[in-house]
Amino acid sequence: MNGSYTAFLGSRRLVTGALSDVLARVKSMPSDPNAELLIFEDRTGQSVDFDLRGDLQDVLARAQPEAKPPGRGRPKLGVVSREVTLLPRHWEWLEAQQGGASAVLRRLVDEARKQDPSAERVRAAQGAADRFMAVLAGNLAGYQEASRALYARDASAFKHHTQGWPEDVREHALSLAAPAFTPDPPSA
């Protein structure tokens, strides 16, 4: 339950903070089955669903990942199996490396991420802001233009195209996008 979350009721921001605080605020509101309640994980900009039945303790207990005793074999590291398409010469090279193909690919990805942390930070901010905007601003005037400005890292155009949006949606989108608009540090 680490990180920051934001709850919106329609286009009105209710609260931003730790998940436990956000869920407590949401649970304290009068129940309205027609309410358009959305909770976003700020790091990714993704909308997250929570089972809000029961009291706050029930909700918080369900929101926390289950703690299972360690089993036998390799630990679960959140591994997701996906398909990678490579040419035969690439597979041959990977198979000849120490640790096997998966270990080599993980090291290559980790090294690439370390090479340019500024670019990684910008990509993360762009993705989070765009995912948030797609949900709450996807049907609003200026959404496409704002999205293009986000990826062009044009803060002035982004602000211009979001000007007509509801204030809380506009401000939260700008907050998520802010790292994408900071200048890159000078090269050493």
Task: Count, in order, helices (H) and strands (E) of the chain.
Answer: 8, 4
What Rg value do the Cα atoms of the chain yield, rounded? 21
pLDDT at 187: 57
Name the pTM for this structure: 0.76
| Whether pLDDT at 182 is above 80 | yes
Q: What is the pLDDT of residues 24-78, one digit of tens each?
A: 999 998 877 778 999 999 999 999 999 989 899 999 998 886 555 556 655 566 6
CA-closest candidate to residue 155, choices 185, 175, 131: 175
Rounded CA-CA distance 142/63 in Å is 35
Q: Residue 39: beta bridge partners?
A: 7, 48
Residue 146: how many other CB atoms lie within 10 Å: 27
**Reported confidence tier of residue 114, pLDDT bands at 50, 70, 90:** confident
